[in-house]
Chain A
């Protein structure tokens, strides 16, 4: 753009009236440049931040293996976590993280589906007026509040109902259930609303009941969106630190059952990071845990993209 303008200027400086207007950029063009400059600047900064974070966590996280010469296999499969004594088997935390994540997703999905169907198909009006704000409120509650409620209500409740100390995977599951429910619900609502209206109309016109329409047409065609919603919920559960840490008990031992204390990658990170020294094995080991978390969230993102792509293909056919 700039080039062509200046070329024009050089070629015929004293020519007809109509191209004198093109000799310098107009105000609108200037605004265009400024706008583009600002967006490129912002994008540049964001890319820089993301790239440097990836680089930072990766370089710190692999120090355990390059500097302290712990074998990767030992780190991933070892069950003894005692960094002060040089033992860094991370399997208990990895299992703990996956256990609470899957358990929370399994418990939350039916509730989220039911709520979403109610909000879109059964009673859209009440859904929009009443349930929507409730769900938005649930998203807005800080995780420390969930953790505190978990500690004050769920832990004693579990102690009375199932025994043990009350701290454990099951308490963490229930806290996370409430935390991922709004995420899964609101994304499911979006994907149900995105189902073309004529699918529903066609189905009803063919004589299908409302339940048949919902279960065989609407849910079926929104499957990829619902799966995406569940995975986003799982990503949130996997990364949640504070609330889980308050109710799971933080014992770096292999989870034997749902009611004995366990720990997750995040809970171990938050409890340990203040007491370790930069550059030593205990500190590097924590960075390696952070690296696993990062890789897992990249994996969740990739999975979402994969599902979205396949869903798109299906709709086009």
Chain B
């Protein structure tokens, strides 16, 4: 028995990065806010690079709470979308046609510290993803990983996936 030769690592990386980039590029608001996504295997880290127009309190100064809420919501939605694409891509299916993005049902944002005028990072943990509903916990931090700036818990409506014949 001859085992199939594994694909070169560069080919695998390029395919995964291209799928992630295509997912993120679909949302104009992500480009507007300047959010970026980094990938390690299937794990995503979202980045909100600091920009002066993210400020909500110029006196402190502090990031706008709404910008941080948006950052967490985007991180949750992209992480959920990615969780739908990843298994299909790894199974060798085409991901040329992206599934629709999950829709937010509700999100509760906990403001733990004021947002510093610096970059912010976020990761989402999908607590449960069913066929229709998903629960996601997401946390953002800045200088210190152990001192989160904001955390959120959200519920999302999953897109209906067309079954491939």
Same complex for A and B? Answer: no
